[in-house]
Chains A and B, each alone.
Chain A
Amino acid sequence: MSKDKEKTVLQKTLRKRIWSFFNSVLLTIGTMLSLALVSIIGTVVEQNKDMETYIQEYGEKWAGYISWAGFNDMFHTWWFSALLGLLVINILVCTIERFPPKWKVLLANKPNFSPTFIDKLQHRKVFTVNADKDATDTILKSFFKKKRYKFLEESAKDGSSAFYAWKGVIGRYGSDFTHISLFVILAGAIIGSVYGYKSFKVITVGSTINMEKRAGFNLRLDKFWIDYYDTGQIRQYNSILTVVEDGKDIVEKQIWVNEPLLYKGIRFYQSSWGTSWNKVDAAEIGFKRKDDEESSTIVRVKWNTKVDIPDSPYAVKVIGYAADFAFDDARKAVFSKSMEADNPAVMVELYKDGEHISSPWLFLKYPGLFSSIPDSDDSLIFEGYRGVLFSGISVNKDPGTNVVWVGSCIMGIGFILAFFIFHKRLYINIKSNGSSTEVKIGGVINKNTMALEKELEVFCDHFEKKQKTHKREF
């Protein structure tokens, strides 16, 4: 043998081996159980947290292993995808290998009419009917009609007749429908992850979500409110959103949890709410004279509005707010460490006789920490505030969703076919013994043998009802 030939033979056997590796139901079972097993890790280890959380929970060493193996975002690791891929190739190969022969066999429905064939079947019955053959024939055909069997008939030379009856062939295709549906669902998921996107926007009433770049429109929050039950529990939270295109209001819709807005293929979901961390509706600013214990006057100052403090030369305007005050040294800027009101502070512009003299930060929890009015012993006190509610809107475009639903419907059809429709085949032989007739029946079913046994019982009962019979059982 030349080397070239050897090589092709080797290639052939290798190809064959790979093919038969993928053409194995044991691989399917193994992959599914492995997927089940590793998925457990993904539920025990919390997903997509920052590294600090894992270090706190598992220690530095284990946190390192977790991030090395990708357990912190397990369902998106290459090896989890590889396992899924293995299952997909496995299903694909199995379908290619099994479907055509099955199709052929079921199309070319060549029945076996030999009476000895019935004797070999596991499920069979023999009994005698007190009627001649023609009458028996009629009873048999009435059974087929009643139970909606299709049948073929063949007469033998010795006067006996053989029947082959079948129904529920379509049930055989249940598994194929189910497998195809998995591919469709997978395709939908891939379309979604390639062409879709997800984001989360927080807006306060009056402001807009800018979708200009993505889809050429803006979305304005007109109203946000919370409904309560009598018990004080939250019933629902709602936003009224308006789509603004080219400066014109196009659509207005009230959304709530379970009721998103759909516009140009993009869905906007009500997903959370909270109190704004960088804006207040109004603040209460107190004016305290040097020797007083408490503020002598308190004024209510709306956001960004100048208000005079009575009996003083001063006026204030609230221009900044931080729910959890912090100072970034690098940027020399104030920011809110969190969304919780742990250390609320407002920034006010202070005017004396109409002239802007300073812009101090006032702290709710630390009144008078810093002197707030330059060249004076009087001070401004941050007494309280009313927050602004924000609405948390999830923005989601997923063109694959409908494909997933189509796949799910196909799966439903597959389930009905696979689990509730059985391919029943009956082989019947009728032989005349003068005035009585012998009926021999055997059956085959693709699954659920109990259903077949029951069917054979019903078959016998049918004859018994129509005609008195002597039952002779095995």
Chain B
Amino acid sequence: MDQPKIVLSLMFFTMAFAFYGMTALLYIINWVFRKRWIGQTATAMAIISAFTMLMMLIARAGESGHAPFSNLYESMALFVWALTVGYLVLEFRYKLKTLGAFVMTIAFLSVISASMLPYKFKSVAPLNPALQNKWKWMVNLFSKVGLENYAIGWLDFHVFATFIGYAAFAIAFGISIMFLLKLRNEEHGNSGLFSRLPESKLLDEISYRAIAWGFPFLGVGIVSGAVWANYAWGTYWSWDPKETWSLITWFVYAAYLHARVTRGWKGKRCAWLSILGFLAVMFLYWGVSFILPGLHAYA
């Protein structure tokens, strides 16, 4: 069998691997030594890393001939990219570079885990029958200018929405951990390394905002998945493990939002709920793919 060439995307991935390592390290150094130029270099490196990951995704799309969302390795690249972009937006908005020490470390760990995936989760494969879905109206529209191969469909929409959600939850998770560390530090005299984190009240609020972004996007991901399933499998909901776990995750974050907005929960309890929610996300994303069999086996 002829395997398509994946040299270019592999090259970009390797570069991104190095860049993400440097970015995470720079943010940590910036947190410890508080040098202005290190902070600026870290931000620049984060932008370069995001760009390299984007190039990797584009190269991969070119090599496989379809949007690079069809296996665990490709989706991890998408996840890391969305996480970085989300983080950069956050940094420009709140001017808090210490967030990067945690969030970009999560990004780097994700790149490492993607690189350690067994080969069968990495290989370039053509889309199986169930994954081939393009919006007809878009194909018709694009075919007028000869670009029908670039039309997208439910696969692209569903995966993209879901991964914006995942990335937002990952950011919320990182910041919740920062919150817990900072809170402990504040209770014990507010000195040392953790005292340099932003004040706990602000961290609490930012992690809530991240969840308020993730929740609707996960919702859109679930609904678009249902619409697509209705086309491909003949039913919009079949309690497949992936579907069920997405609902579990959604319930946990819905509980978080209700606790926070209606009951006025803040701080510690919310942080733990956010961490619990992200554990559910990790299982939804990796656990289901590796452990539980189901229709959704690809990623």
Contacts of A237 in B (CB 8 A): 129
Which positions 275-299 of chain B face chain A at CB distance < 8 Å?
A: 280, 288, 292-293
Known: A35-B251, A258-B232. A450 touches B205 (CB 8 A): yes
Known: A36-B280, A229-B126. A29 touches B258 (CB 8 A): yes
Closest to B3 in A: A231
Bound state CA distance, A260 and B231, in angstroms?
A: 7
A-contacting 9-mer, from B37-45, B71-79, B184-192, B215-223? B215-223
A-contacting 9-mer, from B10-18, B102-110, B111-119, B239-247? B239-247
B292 touches A25 (CB 8 A): no
A42 on interface, CB distance cutoff 8 Å: yes
A411 touches B223 (CB 8 A): yes
B251 touches A25 (CB 8 A): no
Known: A39-B244, A236-B132, A411-B223. A269 touches B209 (CB 8 A): no
Contacts of B2 in A (CB 8 A): 230-231
Closest to A41 in B: B244
Known: A29-B255, A450-B209. A419 touches B216 (CB 8 A): yes
Bound state CA distance, A447 and B205, in angstroms?
A: 10
Contacts of B121 in A (CB 8 A): none
Bound state CA distance, A415 and B212, in angstroms?
A: 9
A257 touches B261 (CB 8 A): no
A231 touches B255 (CB 8 A): no
User: Which of A25, A40, A394 is B234 in contact with, Cβ under 8 Å?
Assistant: A394
Smallest distance from the beta carbon of B69 to chain A beta carbons, Å? 16
Which secondary structure dominates where chain B touches chain A?
helix
Bound state CA distance, A404 and B236, in angstroms?
A: 9
B130 on interface, CB distance cutoff 8 Å: yes
Beyond A234-B128, A236-B132, A447-B261, list 16 extra A-B contacts (CB 8 Å).
A25-B258, A36-B247, A36-B248, A42-B239, A42-B244, A44-B292, A257-B130, A257-B132, A258-B129, A258-B232, A260-B234, A271-B234, A404-B236, A408-B223, A415-B220, A419-B213
Which 9 residue pairs across A and B have the least CB separation, nearest first?
Answer: A415-B216, A269-B234, A257-B129, A36-B251, A394-B234, A43-B241, A36-B248, A32-B251, A32-B255
**9 A-B contacts (beta carbon < 8 Å):** A29-B263, A36-B255, A257-B129, A258-B129, A258-B132, A258-B232, A267-B234, A401-B236, A412-B220
A residues near B (Cβ < 8 Å) are: 25-26, 28-29, 32-33, 35-36, 39-40, 42-44, 46-47, 75, 175, 189, 198, 229-237, 256-260, 267, 269, 271, 394, 396, 398, 401, 404-405, 408, 411-412, 415-416, 419, 447-450
